[in-house]
Structure 1
Amino acid sequence: MPRATRPLAEALARWPVLLDGGLSNQLADQGCDLSGPLWTGRVLTERPDQVAAAHTAYARAGAEVLITASYQIGDDPGLLERSVRVADGVARTAGHGVWVAASVGPYGAVLADGSEYRGRYGLGRDALAAFHRPRIEALLAAGPDVLALETVPDSDEAEALLRVLAGTGARAWLSYTVAGGRTRAGQPLREAFALAAEAPEVIAVGVNCCDPQDVLPALEAAASVTAKPLLAYPNDGSVWDAGTRTWHAPASPAPWPAAAWRAAGARLLGGCCRVGPDRIAGLRATLGPPPPGV
């Protein structure tokens, strides 16, 4: 079966679409070694079959979008292309319509020092655009359905990413990582989301890899400045410690008010780090099955 046949933007106008969950946690559960700066990209390099197995776990849980293992990869065009090819292979055998979203992680992800949760790298927009351009070109050449501009901590970086996309005809979503009603770099969310309001390449905006309690205020901020569909795929409320490369879990499970997120306009829903196939299967049950003929 081919992957989803209609554009993702068209689907979002008709029904809520289910994203996958965290790739890193699923690979870890499969016994993979994620040490080193490439993180999930290391597994993609050494054991692409394990990346395919992780994608398969989410497809079986009902995910309609698989996000590639390209988040922390720099400008290696062969590896970027492989990330799309591996996800595409799973999407074509999933048994239901699946889109492939090519992950474009922030500059801070490639630094592998936790900078994606701070932003403000000391680089201007021109330098950030120059960094992202070859990565985006390589991913687009591999033929994904959409780009996932994700875990963006800084509206300056968002502006650079949008500059690279302008005029390409590509389709993408823009997803910030946020805390306390602001981007991780401290910018007001209304201003951050407004950057994408008039960008024809952007089909949805929202948040990912943040505490679930930060999702609803961010969606409300986005809805106040754009009519684009919204998206939400937070983590489980844990905090990443870049020094020890470990997650610190919350004292109690974070609430996951998906119904409130949907009411606020979220059309793409899923999970990020430490959210596994079981949680995605639960969301699938909550959302109900997608319509036939996707």
Structure 2
Amino acid sequence: MQIHRASIADILKTSKQMVIDGSMSTALERMGVDMNHKLWTARALVECPENVKQVHKNYFKAGADCGITCSYQATIPRLREMGFTEREAEDAVSKSVELFLEARQEWWREEGEKAGRSWPLCLAGIGPYGAYLADGSEYRGHYGVSREVLRTFHERRIHLLWEAGADLLLFETQPSLEEALIEAEIAEELGADYWISFSCRDGRHINEGGSIADCAKALAQGHPHLRMLGVNCTKPGYINSLLRELKGAAELPIGVYPNSGEEYDPVTKTWHGAADGKSFQDYALSYFQNGAAAVGGCCTTAEEHVRQTAQARAEFQRSGCRPMMRDRFRWNRQESGTNFKEIDD
């Protein structure tokens, strides 16, 4: 059966800029789901799937044009270690997409279509190898494992998420260019559209230490199914600098979804410390002003942050502001090469 998939271009054509959803873990915790577990959010896929569906619907209601499946920590090796059979582990991975698609259809029928909203994009959330290690390695990289180990770890899950009907593969919280290139290789072989989002230590460098500009340059050529680059699970104060670095290195739409500002403690697996006092809406507005095509929230963000992002987009569009001139160009990848065409207003 052929699957009709929505695209980033569909959303941007209608809305100009896209609002991403917020944290799955924070939303589930607010519902009383215990996240202190090796499976983290993946536990909810099995124990309380209706909660996962409700999180997706709540984010659509708050203004999200796209959402990330509850699959970041749903890895076959971890599920097997927790007592799942191979088939049960694979079913859990696929379930993350199925729940999203059910939530999207229900929300669309209940209110989305009548409100004239965009059909939400299903982003298959794929965490790095470091997330499986569950020791904060996604904020460090340098796993000390071979390329073959990384490819084997990712390949089956990528196939399952794509076959389940996701619109786009989202390789998120990536601390390592090497790992991102392996994931891109698998997606290209599959013919799947994808988005790569790095986790960053400051305004110029990914968590493993390389410059994000170098990462963008490495990915911008020879990856025809790459639809967006970006940053997530990073301090909001670093994002505008990272946006400028990315935009100076690659002609691709940029999506950003930072944390709300707290610090993560990998020992206790908790977030602590106050944010810097600047509202998420102010941050989101500045991201749009600096050329972000998509903005949302990662860890410790929730529905209110998505609402603020939607409000920031509306404010940006009302003001008639334009991002940097390079954003007025659409990148058309064709077999004959890369062509640029100015977008009509």
Q: Normalised by the size of structure 2, how large is the TM-score? A: 0.79
Contact 1:182 1:188 survives alignment (8 Å): yes
CA distance in 2, matches of 1:254, 1:203: 31
Residues 171-190 of structure 1: pairs in structure 2 closer than 5 A: 171-180=193-202, 181-190=204-213
Matched, 1:9 2:33: no
* Counterpart residue number, 1:274: 300
Matched residue SS, 1:174: strand
Among residues 131, 139, 146, which one is paired with 2:161 in the alignment? 139
CA distance in 2, matches of 1:52, 1:143: 16
Matched, 1:237 2:261: yes
CA distance in 1, matches of 2:206, 2:278: 20
CA distance in 2, matches of 1:182, 1:250: 24
CA shift digits 1:49-71 (9 cap, x unpaired) = 11111111111101111100000
Matched residue SS, 1:133: helix
Q: Which has the higher helix share?
A: 2
Q: 1:248 to 1:188 in 2, by over 3 A?
A: same
* Counterpart residue number, 2:94: 81
* Counterpart residue number, 1:42: 43
Moved more, 99-108 or 253-262: 253-262
* Counterpart residue number, 1:213: 237
> What amino acid sits opposite 2:209 in the alignment?
G
Q: 1:255 to 1:194 in 2, by over 3 A?
A: farther
Gaps of 5+ in 2: 77-88, 316-345
CA distance in 2, matches of 1:182, 1:87: 32
Q: 1:87 to 1:220 in 2, by over 3 A?
A: same
Matched residue SS, 1:187: coil
Residues 103-142 of structure 1: pairs in structure 2 closer than 5 A: 103-142=125-164
* Counterpart residue number, 1:292: none
Contact 1:208 1:272 survives alignment (8 Å): yes
Once the 2 structures are TM-superposed, how far is the Cα of residue 261 of structure 1 from its aligned partner? 1.5
Instruction: Give the paired residue count.
Output: 287
CA distance in 1, matches of 2:208, 2:92: 29
CA shift digits 1:150-199 (9 cap, x unpaired) = 00011111111111112322111100000122111111111112222121
Once the 2 structures are TM-superposed, how far is the Cα of residue 250 of structure 1 from its aligned partner? 2.9
CA distance in 1, matches of 2:153, 2:44: 23
CA distance in 2, matches of 1:179, 1:211: 8
RMSD: 1.9
Matched residue SS, 1:184: coil
> What amino acid sits opposite 1:250 in the alignment?
A
Once the 2 structures are TM-superposed, how far is the Cα of residue 249 of structure 1 from its aligned partner? 2.4
Among residues 112, 134, 149, which one is paired with 2:171 in the alignment? 149
Once the 2 structures are TM-superposed, how far is the Cα of residue 5 of structure 1 from its aligned partner? 7.2
Contact 2:63 2:306 survives alignment (8 Å): yes
> What amino acid sits opposite 1:271 in the alignment?
G
CA distance in 2, matches of 1:166, 1:16: 26
* Counterpart residue number, 2:313: 287
* Counterpart residue number, 1:249: 273
Matched residue SS, 1:266: coil
Larger Rg: 2
* Counterpart residue number, 1:90: 103
* Counterpart residue number, 2:325: none
Matched, 1:193 2:216: yes
Bigger relative contact order, structure 1 or 2 (CA pairs below 8 A, ≥6 apart): 1
Once the 2 structures are TM-superposed, how far is the Cα of residue 123 of structure 1 from its aligned partner? 1.5
Moved more, 167-176 or 248-257: 248-257
CA distance in 2, matches of 1:132, 1:101: 16
Q: 1:116 to 1:254 in 2, by over 3 A?
A: farther
CA distance in 1, matches of 2:297, 2:235: 11
Gaps of 5+ in 1: 290-294
CA shift digits 1:47-100 (9 cap, x unpaired) = 001111111111110111110000011123111110000011111122242111
Once the 2 structures are TM-superposed, how far is the Cα of residue 13 of structure 1 from its aligned partner? 5.0
Matched residue SS, 2:125: strand
Q: 1:45 to 1:254 in 2, by over 3 A?
A: farther
> What amino acid sits opposite 1:67 in the alignment?
I
Q: 1:235 to 1:41 in 2, by over 3 A?
A: same
Q: Normalised by the size of structure 1, how large is the TM-score? A: 0.93
Matched, 1:204 2:228: yes
